Amino acid sequence: MERVFNFSAGPSCLPLEVLEKAQKELVVYGNSGMSVMEMSHRSSDFQAIIDECEALLRDLLGIGDNYKVMFLQGGASSQFAMVPLNLYKNKKADYVLTGVWAKKAAKEAGRYGDVKIVASSEDRTFSYIPKLDKSMFTPDADYVHITHNNTIYGTRYTSLPDVGNVPLVADMSSSILSQEIDVNKFGIIYAGAQKNMAPAGLTVAIVREDLIGNALDITPTMFNYATHAENGSMFNTPPTYTIYICKLVCEWLKGLGGIKEIQKINEYKAGLLYDFLDNSAMFKATVAKEDRSLMNVPFVTDSEELNAKFVKESKEAGLMNLKGHRSVGGMRASIYNAMPVEGVKALIDFMKKFETENK
């Protein structure tokens, strides 16, 4: 069977070049005589892979020396607990509710301290990013948490809130490596890798050094950033093969010209799709124009029946995983870095055809 265009929200498509390189190196990696899957994480071959992966991430994102880059497990969902456990001093944190993931993060932080919901867009099914003003934040909060890109609802922050000297913590699971960011504006950036970096199993945390080493006493060793920072992400066995694929993805990005270039491509792809949706008589985007995600594009028709027909027929046409999240309904196209422009064009062509056939 041919490869399809896979619009899955996560785990999601990987660049074909990366898969082919991994295939070539699958059985024997370099001069090691074995697969990366079979290597000791303490071997010099694997040490070179993780070092290179970190160096590439630092280079691509412009991560300064005052940040640690950690390769963790447990998904972004474990970070929902790790963040408060490591950052609580006054046991106060501010959360902005922009979707299901933000809610889950806030709920977890609420188990260890006082969480203040400074703003929410739940009143309109999280279809926008609330306006934020410095006066809304708690001056002695330990941190402010945002979900930078809302995978389910298709919103993203196009500018960052002014939180003063309080550390800004961002869940970037579905936007990391997709656009330029100023890492210095953040205390912590974390991301489950399975959307835009690698297959599932790896979580990347970028943590400012002064935020490491003051975890609450109850913090499990594995949930303490200091454990991983002090051991180069090798306190225990890291997800070695996923880190290797992450390295290949970073090499691919660098080859394209880095984050600046992929951002241009992402803006082009998203632009094509939103332009089509804004001009279609049948399909419409669900998100406020100014808050639209470059990565996840939800859309609907005004009929449940047509939505279901679209999902079914698009699948038959090799356009996979376009069914929207159950909490939004309709459709969602996830167009991460690895989705080629041709995939987005094929989707638009299919939508045009569908619209004509179902007038």
Ligand X SMILES: *Cc1c(COP(=O)(O)O)cnc(C)c1O
**Is 54 or 171 the residue whose CB approaches ligand X more closely?**
171
Asked if 77 is part of the footprint of ligand X (rule: CB under 6 A), the reply reads: yes
**CA dihedral sign of residues 122, 124, 126, 129:** negative
Q: How far is the CB of 99 from ligand X (least distance, A)?
A: 7
What is the spatial distance between Cα 302 and Cα 255, in angstroms, rounded to a whole number?
Answer: 42
Q: Out of 92, 171, 291, 323, which one is annotated catalytic?
A: 171
Q: How far is the CB of 11 from ligand X (least distance, A)?
A: 9
Number of residues counted as binding ligand X (CB under 6 A): 12
Longest dimension (CA), the chain: 63
**Is 153 or 350 the residue whose CB approaches ligand X more closely?**
153
What is the spatial distance between Cα 281 and Cα 91, in angstroms, rounded to a whole number?
Answer: 50
**Is 75 or 84 the residue whose CB approaches ligand X more closely?**
75
**Is 101 or 157 the residue whose CB approaches ligand X more closely?**
101
| Among 167-175, 181-189, 204-212, 348-356, the segment contacting ligand X (CB under 6 A) | 167-175
What is the spatial distance between Cα 160 and Cα 261, in angstroms, rounded to a whole number?
Answer: 21
What is the spatial distance between Cα 321 and Cα 345, in angstroms, rounded to a whole number?
Answer: 16
What is the spatial distance between Cα 59 and Cα 67, in angstroms, rounded to a whole number?
Answer: 13
What is the spatial distance between Cα 95 and Cα 5, in angstroms, rounded to a whole number?
Answer: 35
Active site residue 171: yes
**Is 29 or 75 the residue whose CB approaches ligand X more closely?**
75
Contact (CB, 8 A) for 171 and 148: yes
Q: Which residues have CB under 8 Å from 207's CB, separation 6+?
A: 67, 68, 70, 187, 188, 225, 229
Considering only 75, 167, 201, 330, the residue that binds ligand X (CB under 6 A) is 75
Site for ligand X in 195-214 (CB under 6 A): 195
Q: How far is the CB of 107 from ligand X (least distance, A)?
A: 13
Asked if 223 is part of the footprint of ligand X (rule: CB under 6 A), the reply reads: no
Q: How far is the CB of 79 from ligand X (least distance, A)?
A: 8
What is the spatial distance between Cα 188 and Cα 348, in angstroms, rounded to a whole number?
Answer: 37
Active site residue 315: no
| Among 70-78, 177-185, 305-313, 317-325, the segment contacting ligand X (CB under 6 A) | 70-78
Site for ligand X in 19-48 (CB under 6 A): none
Active site residue 104: no
Considering only 18, 39, 56, 76, the residue that binds ligand X (CB under 6 A) is 76
What is the spatial distance between Cα 249 and Cα 197, in angstroms, rounded to a whole number?
Answer: 6
Asked if 8 is part of the footprint of ligand X (rule: CB under 6 A), the reply reads: no
Instruction: State the DSSP string of 113-180.
Output: SEEEEEEE-GGGTT-SPPP--GGGS-TT-SEEEEESEETTTTEE-SS----TTSPEEEE-TTTTTTS-
| Among 18-26, 60-68, 74-82, 306-314, the segment contacting ligand X (CB under 6 A) | 74-82
Contact (CB, 8 A) for 242 and 202: yes
**Is 12 or 301 the residue whose CB approaches ligand X more closely?**
12
Where along the sequence are the contacts to ligand X (CB under 6 A)? 10, 75-77, 101, 147, 151, 171, 173-174, 192, 195
